[in-house]
A = this chain, B = another copy of it.
Amino acid sequence: MDLKTALSKLDTLEETMQAYRHAMGVLSLDGATAAPRRSALGRGKTFGVLGGVTYRLLVNDEVDEMLRTILDNRDGCTPAQFRRAELLREDYDDMTRIPMEEYVAYQTLVTEADAVWHEAKEKSDYPMFAPYLEKLMDCQRRFAAYKDDKKPAYDVMLDNYEKGASMTTLDPFFAMLREKLTPVIREIGHRPAPRTDFLHRVYPIELQRTFSLRLMDMLGIDRACCAIAETEHPFTDGYNKWDVRITTHYYERDVASSMYSVIHEGGHALYELGTGDELQFTCLGEGSTMGIHESQSRFYENIIGRSLPFCRALYPVMRETFPEQMSDVTAEELYAAVNKAEPSLIRTEADELTYAAHVMIRYEMEKLMMSGEAKVSELPGLWNSMYRKYLGVDVPCDREGILQDSHWSGGSFGYFPSYALGSAYGAQMLRAMEKDVDVWSHVEKGDLAPVTAWLREKIHRHGRMLTPAQLLENALGAPFDPSFYTDYLTKKFTELYHL
């Protein structure tokens, strides 16, 4: 195949693949937001058909030859063409490495495991889920070996979610979090808690919906390109930079829940919305790894969204939207309330400080699970003892313990560290950003444009054109150093709690 033919085939393939990605994305979104309950059967059939088609679109000898042609002719390609071929080659290899019948069996297993997990969680019945967890771990270990049987399985998995991550890099990272943050968490347990009563007054859903739109406006999200919907669990998806969706979940008596979901998902959305025009409708037109994506969402959610200047900017908007509920509250009380730190059981509800400990525990668990050091039956005991040790809380039941997250039932092992990495990247980015931008004076005025412009320049606009390492180099201006993160948290919570 000559290069010109190969490049033309690349364009056709990507155009087609992106259309399927869009269709399947919207089908999922519809399933989570609008579809009636019994629609699952039809959606499953449609996913089966479209999934099969996309598999065959990518995995065939012609594509193989096309990719080889491009990758062997770097000089004849634009950097974007070459990069697209590189990324498609990764997908290709990922998909062909696993024998088809194993992959199909795995898909069936995941579907079953997910259903069983839901029921097991509801009943707090770990033994019900355990055999599925065991099988999922076996599959994933086997898949990791297909990819690279010279590395420990868990290293392969970590690298899947965050290119370059391994136990060698993460062990010291989590050790540092443990060492620096555990004493702060302990100490805070002995201090008086801020008032949070007003966050749990009745906030009518209709008003919260209006408030979400105002939040999106404050974040500088162009609502002509980004819509919001409601789902059980908030998420973000983007089909191209002119069509991004975020979701949230409203609780009448917890205004902060949806508020920070919107800001978090809004951070993901700003990333997708900021990818370069020229990258759209190719595999380059989306965000990079999980860790980089979380660095953006958690930057907006915590570093900006839970800062005192932002709370000051938000305060009049909240007073206006919820005059009764906020009538006896100051901006400083709002700031203290949304930063209430408290060792707790559930990761997704954790504050910024203790969140890191939840992730650290999962990392330690996954290491033991993947090395085979722990038996599946021992996992709940291990989980509970780590929660006692690092967070000082007793886990009353597996539902609020090891069964709480959906990741493992979905076959995702090695995913959790990205959350902590993303947070740590963000803290270091803030320091780099502060050298170029007078961050807090803008944020205090409710103007996030300079913050977003900086992130857009360093990260967003590049999509997947640059590697995660290049993006971090751009945005950190120095090698990654997690002490920025621990310093940031220590300083913030020392001040908040007068430690």
Contact partner of A36 among B26, B27, B206, B225, CB < 8 A? B225
Total interface residues on A, using CB and 8 Å? 43
Indicate whether A46 reaches chain B with its CB closer than 8 angstroms. yes
Contact partner of A19 among B18, B34, B50, B281, CB < 8 A? B50
Q: How many copies does the complex hold?
A: 2
Query: Are A16 and B242 in contact, with the CB atoms below 8 A?
Result: no
Indicate whether A239 reaches chain B with its CB closer than 8 angstroms. yes
Q: Which residues of B contact A27 (CB under 8 A)?
A: 22-23, 26
Which partner residue on chain B sits nearest A280 by CB separation? B42
Interface majority SS on A: helix, strand, loop or mixed?
helix
Q: Which residues of B contact A229 (CB under 8 A)?
A: 34
Query: Are A34 and B34 in contact, with the CB atoms below 8 A?
Result: yes
Query: Are A223 and B36 in contact, with the CB atoms below 8 A?
Result: yes
CB distance from A224 to the nearest CB of B (A): 4
* Residue among A18, A20, A27, A36 with max Cβ neighbours from chain B (10 Å): A36
Q: Which residues of B contact A227 (CB under 8 A)?
A: 34-36
* Residue among A15, A19, A239 with max Cβ neighbours from chain B (10 Å): A19
Which partner residue on chain B sits nearest A15 by CB separation? B49
Which A residues from 218 to 241 make CB contacts under 8 A with B? 222-227, 229, 239-240
Write the A1-42 contact mask toward B (1 if CB under 8 angstroms, else 0): 000000000000001101110111011011001111111011
Indicate whether A125 reaches chain B with its CB closer than 8 angstroms. no
CB distance from A19 to the nearest CB of B (A): 4
Bound complex: CA A48 to CA B12 (Å) = 12
CB distance from A247 to the nearest CB of B (A): 10
Task: Tell me the A residues contacting B by CB distance below 8 Å.
Answer: 15-16, 18-20, 22-24, 26-27, 29-30, 33-39, 41-43, 45-46, 48-50, 53, 206, 222-227, 229, 239-240, 242-245, 281
